[in-house]
Amino acid sequence: MPLSFIRKGEEVVSAPGIVELRWKGDDPMFHRDSVDMFEKQKEGLDESHGKKDKKTGIQSYFRCLLCECDLTSIINLRSHCDGGPHQLKSCSVVVKYKQELKNDPSLNMKPDPESEDNDPQYDLYSVLEKQSKEICGLRYITEFIKNNGKPLYHCRLQNCKNEQGDAGYMSRHIFCLQHRAAWIQEDQNVSHCVNIDTVISYVNEHKEVI
């Protein structure tokens, strides 16, 4: 079941300009500037978002700018952002954002918000072993060791646009639609998987074993 809150630093939205946090109130004169969720999620959000404050009459909600719909809870936001139609629409926005960061590699190295230590044993394989999802394209992932001994990873599939980060970030990348579709097209030389259902079906049939 999706979580009803967002941990500090957790990435629910992968680029600016996708989802905004907005507010509305009973007072017709009420106004509060919206906030981009890409930045807001760094602070974390509690489960009160989406619930109307009975004292003030003010209620926060989420607006997906790509799908043009409102989401009234963090659970709904998570489900929406994990959905295939939204992911397909957001893919080009995320890729464009990644390209803008190319000249600053330090910004591309994204830490896993669930890992608060620098344990060298916190590697990609140990993270993947805890997952029950199908894996593909693992041989396209290169490991680099930082000075502190903690590994970082880079995906060299062309359509993955140089995604890189630590074990937690790269494990999420491996399970995303973009990586799976890139592996099917570039490694398997299959071009007929054009939507989320065919991509998932193909990966289920041709998954890798670690």
Do 92 and 113 belong to one domain? no
Do 27 and 55 belong to one domain? yes
Do 44 and 83 belong to one domain? yes
Comparing 109 with 156, the larger pLDDT belongs to: 156
Domain boundary among 68, 84, 100: 100
How would you write the chain as a 3-class SS string? CCCCCECCCCCCCCCCCCEEEEEEECCCCCCCCCEEHHHHHHHCECCCCCCECCCCCEEEEEEECCCCEEECCHHHHHHHHHCHHHHHHHHHHHHHHHHHCCCCHHHHCECCCCCCCCCCCCCHHHHHCCCCCCECCHHHEEEEECCCCCEEEEECCHHHCCCEECHHHHHHHHCCHHHHHHHHHHCCCCCCCCCHHHHHHHHHHHCECC
Do 39 and 88 belong to one domain? yes
- The per-residue pLDDT for 200 is 87
Do 87 and 166 belong to one domain? no
Do 121 and 178 belong to one domain? yes
pLDDT, tens only, 5-31: 888 878 899 889 999 999 999 988 889
The overall pTM is greater than 0.75: no
Task: Find the domain containing 154 and state its range.
Answer: 103-206
Domain boundary among 100, 130, 159: 100
Do 39 and 124 belong to one domain? no
Do 140 and 190 belong to one domain? yes
Looking at the structure of the chain, the number of domains it has is 2
pLDDT, tens only, 67-126: 999 999 999 999 999 888 898 888 888 877 777 765 444 444 444 444 444 444 468 888
Domain boundary among 100, 131, 165: 100
